[in-house]
Structure 1
Amino acid sequence: MPFPPGDVVAAFGRHLHFKSLEQALLDRHPDVAERVVFDDTNRLMHLKVTLSAGRSVTLAQVHMEYSTVWCVMPPGLDGEPSVWPLETPDEVLVDALHAVASARITGEAVASPWRWNESEPSDMTELSDLLDARGLRVRRVVAGNGWSAIGPRHTAKLDIAGRDDGCFVEVEFPDAFVRVSLKSALGWLVDAYVPEVEAWGRVDLGGLLWGTTLPAPGVPRTDASVAEIADMLCKGLKAWDLEVSVGPAETAAPDWLQGLDVGLDELDEDSSPVDGRRSLGPRELTDAVLDQLTSLGFGDVEEGDAETPIRSGTFHVEWHNRAKNLSTSEVQRLNGLAAAAGEYVPKRLIVLTAAGISRPAANFADTAKAFVFFVDRTTGRLMGLNSRAREAGWPGTVPARQDQGPW
């Protein structure tokens, strides 16, 4: 007897998986047992909880761009579905399906954290609950689940949060689009995209919370509660001390670095942009870098002199002008110089380089709480080369316009 074709085996495997999901839904949520239907009459198998008038909430695997994802879809076009990666545990999928279905049955809002497409309570879901209760529109929450869909339903695009985005909440204000992030190294960051100037700006959290501008981006999680962050946000754009980046700051790599890993250790010493653009002069470059560092939240950097172009009471700013990528020993040496530069306490290190950095050197820089930035000398743009510097960067995308609609 010949072995069944691969597509037949795959279809049978999906059938068994959906039967397992059906049983898990019945076991975990017997209150909807009479409404549960598993439909395998067509190629798009799905598990659904029926509502009324032929409407239902559905769990199915959906192809979106180049990926297949799990979607919990409300009936018709009157709601946004939850999007989950294929490796999501079965119990999370059926709990998400039940949460949406039970809300439709009772006529109430989907319970938190499921309403935010998250399976566990977190700082981000707590913040979203507080903001929503005060009438602000929370557009996206990323904590455990970084997958979502954007744009109109018939042309939706898959959006997966990046590894350096951390946990975040995106909130829509009348005059700005705000991302509140909780980064592993830096803590709380609040960035606002202002459509009038088409640029991101960073909120001075230290100034708003305690009346003191902090020397580095971010507020440690333990220093500010979720409620304090929510209170600050509700004051609105006019109350924030916003440093808007209208210069060349960006978080994406220049074209000639695109696709390279954080280490950049595959670059040879002669790697350089070859598009014919001239390099900025020393003063132009210093001004561009200083403006970006200030906008990113380095609160005590200032213009220096010819020997020390950028000064700071907290950081030792080192310009690395060699073509060779930064090695661990070189970063250790520069970190020692930074420590010695402090008059009473050691300074921390900021490195500005036109080269790359090895992975071990980037790891050491993170351990030393240093920031290493690549500087494009033709534009002055900064790009983080270690994880701490990347965390300090701007959100990588421009917010979608309101008229693009929800998924």
Structure 2
Amino acid sequence: MVAAFGIHLHFQALEQMLLERHPELAGRVYFNSAGPQMYLRVKLSGDRGAGLAMVRLGHTFVWLLVDPVLDSEPSVWPLNATPDEVLVDALHAHASAHLTGVPVASPWRWHESEPSDMTELADLLVEQGVRVRRVAAGNTYFPCGPRHELELHIAGGSEGAYVEAEFPGAFVRVSVKPSVGWLVDVHCPEWGAWGRVDLGYSLWRRELPTPGVPRADVSVSQVADLIARGPETWVESGAPWEPTRPSCASAELPSDMQGSLFVMSVTEPDCAPRPLGIVELAEAVLEQLTAFGFGDVREGGSDSPIHSDAYHIEWNTRTKDLSTSDIQRLNGLAAAAGEDIPKRLIVISRGGISRPAAAFADRAKAFVYRLDPATGKLFPLNSRADELLPPSVEPDKYYVEPW
């Protein structure tokens, strides 16, 4: 009862604030306090209206703003982290757009309260005829699933801020990551997975050794022009990598290979997966680094299976977590490995890493991965490496289904 009364007072405050900030809506604002669902509504023509309610999506209570357009995606805002001013201004933006017969103004049309590089990019793409599906910058809450049973998706972590757009036969995510800058990932039917666009070749026809492009090196309008030209004009870093399904083998490993970084014996009844050999693991690592966007990695020689002019690649065979002193030592070896300029560090490890060591690796602009010796898959161990992972969900898996 106390909670319901508090919600009632909150809606009354929202109604008063809406009328004070946007007095032109007087006579159209209606607060429904009866029934199981309270909501604030701005009446439009006929039975149409824009509404704001407090609802539960899954296990989380959120603010839900419904636009009168039938197939529009509802706008979802965090319950306790969204100022009342943002809620009433968002409701006003959607209502006034329909009253005046114009599109919802940016940044509100993207469910954002402040302009940003991402809202600017979305606006520029729309101007060039590209269908923008989502913007994630300040507001990372999104609805997904069937309209009668919406679920909540929360973007964040290593995803950074991003814009998602759709082309015939392709889906693209343009993101800005804190450490590596601009990244572009594309999902197309022939791959059935996310692949990365080589921004160096796509923008300037030159090889970039490090994934991504720093924000200062390319403008939002340049990125928009590149995306608007379409997937057929982009250059991919490499095909998406998928782990090889282990084959069965009854033979035991040679004693000199047991316990190394490159192989792992798996014992199962009847049939044990054949462990990957040195060459197979090196190929898997090379393919993944290429797919991440490391532009100058290539097959190496007997001293090192992977070569790079910009990076020193260190293979750590110990299962013990890497310490800060370990990363400092390896970073020094990487710097000394460069002929004219110091090299940066990539670590491929069998073990994990301590939190302070991961933080130092980030400051040193290093990339640290744990290698699964059974499949060849790389798992990021520091934030910079984590930022290079492709999107974790398939397109349309977290959008609201149309009517």
TM over 0.5: yes
Give the gaps of 5 or more residues in structure 1: 1-7, 250-270
- CA contact 1:200–1:244 (8 Å) conserved in 2: no
Q: Are 2:63 and 2:77, in contact at CA under 8 Å, matched by a contact in 1?
A: yes
2:159 is paired with a residue whose SS is coil
Partner of 1:92: 86
Letter in structure 1 aligned against 2:64: C
**Residue 59 (structure 1) aligns with:** 52
Other structure's SS at 2:342 match: coil
For 1:31, the aligned partner's letter is E
Measure, in 2, the Cα distance between the counterparts of 1:113 and 1:122: 8
Which residue is 1:381 aligned to?
Answer: 377
For residues 329-340 of structure 1, what are the structure 2 equivalents within 5 Å? 329-340=325-336
Residue in 2 that maps onto 1:262: none
What does 1:100-249 align with in structure 2 at a 5 Å threshold? 100-248=94-242
- Counterpart AA for 2:65: V
Deviation at 1:365, TM superposition (A): 0.3
One-letter identity of the residue aligned with 1:111: A
Instruction: Establish whether residue 12 from structure 1 lines up as the match of residue 5 from structure 2.
Output: yes
> Which region of structure 1 is more displaced relative to structure 2, 127-136 or 238-247?
238-247
Output one character per residue of 1:113-155: Cα deviation in whole Å (capped at 9) or x when no partner: 0000000000000000011111111011001001111233113
Determine the structure 1 residue equivalent to 2:321. 325
Residues 118-127 or 47-56, more deviating: 47-56
- Cα deviations by residue, 1:344-393 (Å, 9 ceiling, x for unpaired): 11100000112111110100000000001121111111121111001111
Of the candidates 8, 14, 26, which is equivalent to residue 21 of structure 1?
14
Which secondary structure does the structure 1 equivalent of 2:10 belong to?
helix
Are the counterparts in 1 of residues 73 and 400 from structure 2 also a CA contact under 8 Å? no
Deviation at 1:52, TM superposition (A): 2.1
Determine the C-alpha separation between the residues in 2 that align with 1:243 and 1:401: 25
Q: Of residues 388, 394, 397 in structure 2, which corresponds to 1:398?
A: 394
From 47, 70, 79, give the equivalent of 2:40. 47
RMSD: 2.1
Per the normalisation by structure 1, the TM-score is 0.89
- Look up the SS of the partner of 1:128 in the other structure: helix
Q: 1:254: which partner in 2? A: none
CA displacement, residues 309-338 of structure 1 (integer Å, 9 cap, x when unaligned): 111000000011101011111111111110
Unmatched tracts of structure 2, length 5 or more: 244-263
Aligned partners of 2:307 and 2:102: how far apart in 1?
Answer: 56
Query: Does the aligned pair in 2 maintain the 1:201–1:244 contact within 8 Å?
Result: yes
Give CA deviations for 1:208-249 in whole Å, capped at 9, x if unaligned. 222211001010001000110011111211111113433227
In the TM superposition, what is the alpha-carbon distance from 1:41 to its structure 2 partner?
Answer: 0.3
* Contact 1:175/1:237 (8 A) holds in 2: no
Alpha carbons 2:161, 2:177 under 8 Å: kept: yes
Work out the CA distance in 1 between the residues paired with 2:266 and 2:29: 59
CA distance in 1, matches of 2:267, 2:93: 55
For residues 84 and 320 of structure 2, the distance between their equivalents in structure 1, rounded to whole angstroms, comes to: 49
SS at match of 2:392: coil
Q: 1:352 is matched with which residue?
A: 348
Q: Deviations over 1:18-39 (max 9, x none)?
A: 1111111111111112211111
Do 2:32 and 2:40's aligned partners in 1 also have CA atoms closer than 8 Å?
yes
Structure 1 position 54, deviation (Å): 2.4
Q: Provide Cα deviations, 1:265-292, integer angstroms capped at 9, x if missing partner.
A: xxxxxx9988764431100000011011
CA contact (8 A) 1:357 1:385 kept: yes
Identity, % of aligned positions:
58
Mapped to 2, the partners of 1:166 and 1:30 lie a distance apart of: 37
1:304 equivalent in alignment to 2:300: yes
Sort the Cα spacing of 1:215 and 1:273 in 2 relative to 1 into closer, same or farther, 3 A: farther
Q: Separation in 2 of the partners of 1:147 and 1:130?
A: 23
* Deviation at residue 75 of structure 1 after TM alignment: 3.1
Structure 1 residue identity aligned to 2:20: D
